Structure 1
Amino acid sequence: MEKYVYDHVEVEIPVGGNAFFNAANLTRGICKGVKFVPYQTATPAIRTHAININVDDNSGDKILGKTDYRDFSGGNGGYLENFKPCNFKTHAQINVDVVSVIPIATEAFKGQLIFAIVEDCN
């Protein structure tokens, strides 16, 4: 049976800003899914923004190309079924970029990007 661990990156784009960057080290293994959980219900001002999430490895190679944050939000179903499917090795640092096409005007964009990882037990 696979053993999952859940690593996360706290995301925040402040009012007046349009970007977030974080270099993170994930648990060694294979990432099977990624999910974005916003901390607040999206207001109309946030819902109209195109806010994209991009994940690269530490050499700049794309892991998850630029995709709107709503594509990382789950629907109904079991817990893992709500994650955006992926399949990449988590053996080194990753870089997470979150970019809004226009500056955030009324409230900060905050949430958690969660990585579902099958832990490497070797």
Structure 2
Amino acid sequence: MRYHGPPERPCRIQGGDMGTAKYDHPGYLANAGAAGTYHVGVWCPHGYPAHVHIGRAGSQDDARLRLRIPDGVFQSMPDDMETLCRRAFGQALAEGLLAASEGDFQEVRLRLDAQPWSGPLAAAQPA
């Protein structure tokens, strides 16, 4: 999966725009069984707003699903990186967003009350 945006800042892998440790993580691979494996990661183009991007693992295509973290909430969220990615993936599964984003770009708001996904999640390797 490619993160949409400037190559010098594709994801949190490159370090923090906002000076927080939450920015040094390559994301996760979520194995959803028959639905496939997805790369779930956080992208912050210019500090705010942050988005959780979800795309097919191993794909060179841009992530087609983006869950926007509400403005001003990202820094105050109690979630660590894993819980944030689990929450976004749980919302995507519960609302049928993965299938809906297969062909077209889709951006929705991350629900802060979404139930975090409890399935297998493995740390992605840095690019």
TM-score (norm 1): 0.28
Answer 1 or 2: higher relative contact order, Cα 8 Å, separation at least 6. Answer: 1
Rg comparison, structure with higher value: 1
TM-score between the two structures when normalised by the length of structure 2: 0.28
Whose strand fraction is larger, Structure 1's or Structure 2's?
Answer: 1
